[in-house]
């Protein structure tokens, strides 16, 4: 298993600004992921954060809007850029240890853009 710490847990931001969310895993993991979850909805994968290379983005998500860093095997950041009220959501970091199929999640960042 993996224990994931995510911060901030919540934030209220002005439109047009950017927010960087940090994700720290208690062990080295091969795969880290970033999801978005709208209230009452399921999880939508934004991108897979690859260590040592650029993130792989899902359809509908672009690097300019959601730049991701993965400097090592235990840490990743997601930036939500030039925010608008439509970006208000819960953002979740997830990690999958090597050899595991299951993924583990952080507590989420509840973002409100005003």
Q: Between 5 and 24, how does the x/- string for binding to another protein read (CB under 8 A)?
A: -x------------------
State the DSSP code for 114.
Answer: -
- CA distances for 57 relative to 2, 5, 40, 66, 114, angstroms: 23, 22, 23, 9, 26
Nearer to another protein, 14 or 59 (CB): 59
Produce one character per residue of 68-91: b if its CB has 16 or more CB atoms within 10 Å, e if not.
bebeebbebbbebbebeeebbbbb
Phi, psi of 2 (to 5 degrees): -145, 140
The count of residues interacting with another protein (CB under 8 A) is 23
Q: Which is nearer to another protein, 13 or 43 (CB)?
A: 43
Rounded to a whole number of angstroms, the minimum distance from the CB of residue 29 to another protein is 12
**The one among 46, 92, 95, 111 contacting another protein by CB under 8 A:** 92
Judged by CB under 8 A, the chain residues 44 through 83 that form the site for another protein are 45, 48
């Amino acid at each position: 298993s993996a224990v994931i710490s995510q911060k901030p847990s919540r934030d209220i931001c002005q439109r047009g600004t950017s927010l960087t969310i940090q994700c720290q895993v208690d062990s080295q993991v091969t795969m880290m992921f970033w999801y978005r979850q709208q209230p009452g909805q399921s999880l939508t994968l934004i991108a897979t954060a690859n260590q040592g290379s650029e993130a792989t983005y899902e359809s509908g998500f672009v690097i300019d809007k959601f730049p991701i860093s993965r400097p090592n095997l235990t840490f990743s950041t997601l930036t939500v850029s030039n925010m608008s009220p439509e970006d208000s959501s819960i953002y979740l970091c997830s990690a999958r240890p090597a050899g595991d199929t299951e993924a583990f999640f952080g507590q989420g960042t509840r973002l409100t853009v005003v």
